[in-house]
Amino acid sequence: MAISFDLSGRRALVTGANTGIGQAIAVALAQAGARIALCGRTSPDETMDLIAATGQTATNIAADLSNIKPIKRVIEETVASIGGIDILVNNAGIIRRNDLEEFTEEDWDAVVDTNLKSLFFLSQAAALRMIDQGSGKIINIASLLSFQGGIRVPSYAAAKSGVAGVTKAMSNELAPKGVQVNAIAPGYIATNNTAALQADETRNHQILERIPIGRWGRPEDIAGTAVFLSSAASDYITGQVIAVDGGWLGR
Ligand code: NAP
């Protein structure tokens, strides 16, 4: 049997795709043949144009995923606009940086609610559809801080470690029902999320020194793994957190 990365006819929902990693993933899934629903709080005009250039159609569902209120509507609108849901990429995420002594409850709740709570409940809502059809792929965007503690980002480390845990927990229940659940842990990728680190000369130097490949990652570096995990080529992979990090975790 030929190994296939083809996503023709598949229907994918990607959160937080107006920029960065989510944008690169949405465009790559479209290039592989999927119909795309985008979901986020900022209008993804550039991403819509990039997808249109691939010949695919995309739809935009406006929703603020800092809480779980819009989740049922997001799945209903996805199904109404692209005909169903075969692939969910939980990419939307935020980070808050502060010293431990100063860290606030607001910075804790905002990150955990967006990066972990909404990810779980959106997955649950998508899984209800995927279980009915007996197939589906859920891809969570984790982090190196699913494995490490990081510096000055305790709520982010907690949320992303939680993403690794919930990826395995969901996989254990959904894999027998035909749905694979995996996560991608990006290394240091040049996006808005890491703008403060890139601008900090000391941290930038420390980070680059530890990456064997010797450069910051680009959003496109994450997209190939997302296509793979969305495709039939990964049908026997589930419950995994795959690092795409230029070699960082190997050091
Ligand atoms: P980014 O450019 O800041 O993108 C984050 C995306 O999430 C944006 O589309 C953002 O929308 C969206 N988002 C944030 N809060 C939201 C909310 N309440 N409701 C809906 N959408 C929301 O950063 P990125 O680096 O591409 O991050 C994408 C994912 O990768 C995140 O989960 C991040 O934690 C993870 N990650 C990034 C790195 C890295 O080095 N860059 C490393 C590991 C993991 P707005 O534009 O409206 O804010």
Whose CA is closest to atom 23 on ligand 1? Answer: 193
Using DSSP bridges, classify how beta strands 87-90 and 136-141 pair: parallel, antiparallel or unpaired.
parallel
Whole-number Cα distances in Å, 40 to 23, 52, 94, 181, 231: 11, 18, 12, 21, 24
Domain extent listing, the chain: 11-190+218-244
Taking the centre of ligand 1 as the mean of its atom positions, its distance from the CA of residue 91, in whole angstroms, is: 6
Provide the pLDDT confidence category of residue 3 given band limits of 50, 70 and 90: confident
Class of domain 11-190+218-244: alpha beta
Q: Which of 41, 73, 197 to mutate to test the pocket of ligand 1 (most atoms within 8 A of CB)?
A: 41
Mean pLDDT of 22-31: 98
Residue of 146, 193, 204, 213 to mutate, ligand 1, most atoms within 8 A of C-beta:
193
Q: What's the pLDDT score for residue 34?
A: 98
- Give me the sign of the Cα torsion angle 149, 155, 158, 161: negative
Instruction: Look at residue 2 and tell me whether its pLDDT is greater than 90.
Output: no
Residue pLDDT, tens place only, 90-126: 999 999 999 999 999 999 999 999 999 999 999 999 9
What distance in angstroms lies between residue 54's CA and the mean position of ligand 1's atoms? 23
Separation of alpha carbons 149 and 63, rounded Å: 30
Q: How far apart are CA 112 and CA 120, in angstroms?
A: 11
Q: Is the pTM of the predicted complex or chain greater than 0.95?
A: yes
Dist. CA 51 → ligand 1 center (Å):
19
For tokens 């606030």, name the residue. Answer: 104
22 lines ligand 1 (CB under 6 A): yes
Amino acid at 174: L
What span, in angstroms and rounded, lies between the C-alpha atoms of 129 and 135?
A: 9
Whether 122 and 116 have beta carbons less than 8 Å apart is answered as no
